[in-house]
Structures are given as structure tokens and as C-alpha cells.
Amino acid sequence: MAESEEVRANYSNEEGESPDPETSRSRRRRFKASNMSFGEMLEMVDILKRADCDGKKAKIMAKVVKSLHRNFGVRRSKDQLRKRWSDLKLREPEQYRKIWRVLQKSK
């Protein structure tokens, strides 16, 4: 454990950063990346589809962040949600179709 801290400190000093990496990280808000539940994805897709958004409009993404926090108690950054939206559309078309069907049935 002490060795890894030493290596981290040496690496930080070589890069010209502050010797205490925690102080530089604490300024930015970081959220833990975790898997999204189906309900969370459903909520995100519903909001983005209603707004006809591709995930790049900051105001709408802020609405998604607030909605997920209010309804599921989960805090996610806009960047995490943009990446998840992109992955859903491009890499997981079956999951996207499943969500789309559920949204169509609910209307």
C-alpha cells in the first residue's frame, strides 16, 4: 500500500502537478460510474426523445440528471449520460428497441 502511494507521489511530481493529488481532484465533482438500471435508461430515453435531443444540449441533459436523481436517488454527470446514450444507440440496439417498445406501450 505504501509503495503505491510512493509511486503515485513520484508520478505526480514528475508531471509537475501538486504533490497532493486529492486537492486538485476535489475541485471537480465526480460521480461514481455504475450500471444503469432499466428504469433509469427508460427515463433518460423518454426525456431525450420527448425533447428530440441527441444528448448534446446541456439544458436537456441537466433535466435528465435532475430527473434521475429525483426518481432514483442516483447522481450521474452529464458526460456519463451522454456516453450511455451513445452506447445505447450505437452498441446496444436490442436494448434500445426494448426501451422504445416499453415507451410506445405506455403512451
Using one digit for the tens of pLDDT, what is the confidence trace for 8-65?
444 444 444 444 455 455 556 666 667 889 999 999 999 998 888 887 888 999 999 9
Query: Which pLDDT score, from 0 to 100, does residue 4 have?
Result: 47
Three-state secondary-structure class, residue 78: helix
Contact 27, 17 (CB under 8 A): no
The residue type found at 90 is L
Intra-chain end-to-end CA distance of the chain, in Å: 55
pLDDT tens column, 57-95? 889 999 999 999 999 998 899 999 999 999 998 999 999
